[in-house]
Structure 1
């Protein structure tokens, strides 16, 4: 039978291992607990779980990571659209929709970049207890990411009534951008006491 001292140290070891495990799982736990309520939970969990940036330990970290993911997808989509626009096989109406979409997604990239800047200032201002400045920068972040989402929706709307491979390709790309942006908006709204309703994008 083990001595009391051995049992004591065994208990300490179990507590220590449990504490380490909780520490390692903390970033994933906050992602899972938050994504379950996002506009697109599975996409949220998949993209944020694969995020390789700084550790996610707070709701602000989560919002920052979500916007960075959205910006990365928007930049990728912008490059893809520019390539597709150069297709000689595109019909006139398709080309017009592509030209508009390239501009709109370019605007989204700019707006998401501004969102990141606002979130960075938000992190700084909150540390000083400046409530008014915190609210101002949070409002800026919400405004910019909402504008990015509107541009992405407008891009998709421009292909209504158009059929073909180009529409299918563009719609698939932009729909994903819009959905990760919607999730980013949700993460930012969570930083406020008054949360907006999730914005969804039709498949």
Structure 2
């Protein structure tokens, strides 16, 4: 009877622990998951602002979070490139200013190409593990990092450029926002890679 009672008590305790763990996991909403994950970024408030609208699609997936963050960066980059292109056609734009804007547009085009490849690569990871996973992630990290460098290169073109201060400020605001969003995406990519490696470690 004593042995049977001990077994029953053990089963009860294990069931209780299992219930508590399940309750804890289910109590973490996708929005809370995003907020927690965004703490790993340089611009957490912007990160939360950009990603909470996609909470249902992200769920609690580090991979989907990284994919969504890069997708948001793609969208912001496209809008900024379009804005700079419009500004380059404004009246009174000097040749030097026009050239700086075109260089910026080219940089953002390169950034878009790299970010798009990164989304595809993340989608192709599937259930990859070990060296296969690290190879895919290395590609993504390299491309997103290069996309961030493209954003910085765009900004460099306006550092000492003499142009209408309002136009200059408007362009810089757009590109800085893109750079911050891309920086956050890179941080979430790195977080995904780190968490996956930790999960693989026995």
Q: TM-score range by the shorter chain?
A: 0.7 to 0.9
Please name the residue that 2:91 is paired with. 88
Query: Which 4+ stretches in 1 moved above 6 angstroms?
Result: none
Contact between 1:90 and 1:166, CA under 8 Å: does it hold in 2? no
Please name the residue that 1:41 is paired with. 44
Structure 2 distance, partners of 1:92, 1:70, is: 30
Please name the residue that 1:156 is paired with. 155
Q: Deviations over 1:137-195 (max 9, x none)?
A: 1001001111110000000010011242221111010000000000000001112339x
Structure 2 distance, partners of 1:109, 1:65, is: 14
Closer, same or farther in 2 for the Cα pair 1:134/1:98, shift >3 Å?
A: same
Please name the residue that 2:180 is paired with. 179
Question: How many equivalent pairs are there?
Answer: 173
What runs of 5+ residues in structure 1 fail to find an aligned partner?
A: 1-14, 195-203
Shift of 1:30: 1.0
Structure 1-normalised TM-score? Answer: 0.78
Larger Rg: 2
Structure 2-normalised TM-score? Answer: 0.78
**What is the root-mean-square deviation in Å for CA atoms of aligned residues?**
2.2
The structure where helix makes up a greater share of residues is 2
Q: Deviations over 1:65-92 (max 9, x none)?
A: 1101101101111111111111122122
The equivalences for 1:69-80 within 5 A come to 69-80=72-83
Please name the residue that 1:144 is paired with. 143
Closer, same or farther in 2 for the Cα pair 1:41/1:70, shift >3 Å?
A: same
Query: Does structure 1 residue 133 correspond to structure 2 residue 136?
Result: no
Contact between 2:47 and 2:181, CA under 8 Å: does it hold in 1? yes
Contact between 1:118 and 1:137, CA under 8 Å: does it hold in 2? yes
**Larger CA deviation: 179-188 vs 26-35:** 26-35
Query: Does structure 1 residue 165 correspond to structure 2 residue 166?
Result: yes
Structure 2 distance, partners of 1:53, 1:114, is: 24
Query: Does structure 1 residue 59 correspond to structure 2 residue 58?
Result: no
Q: Deviations over 1:74-112 (max 9, x none)?
A: 111111111111112212221111010010011111111
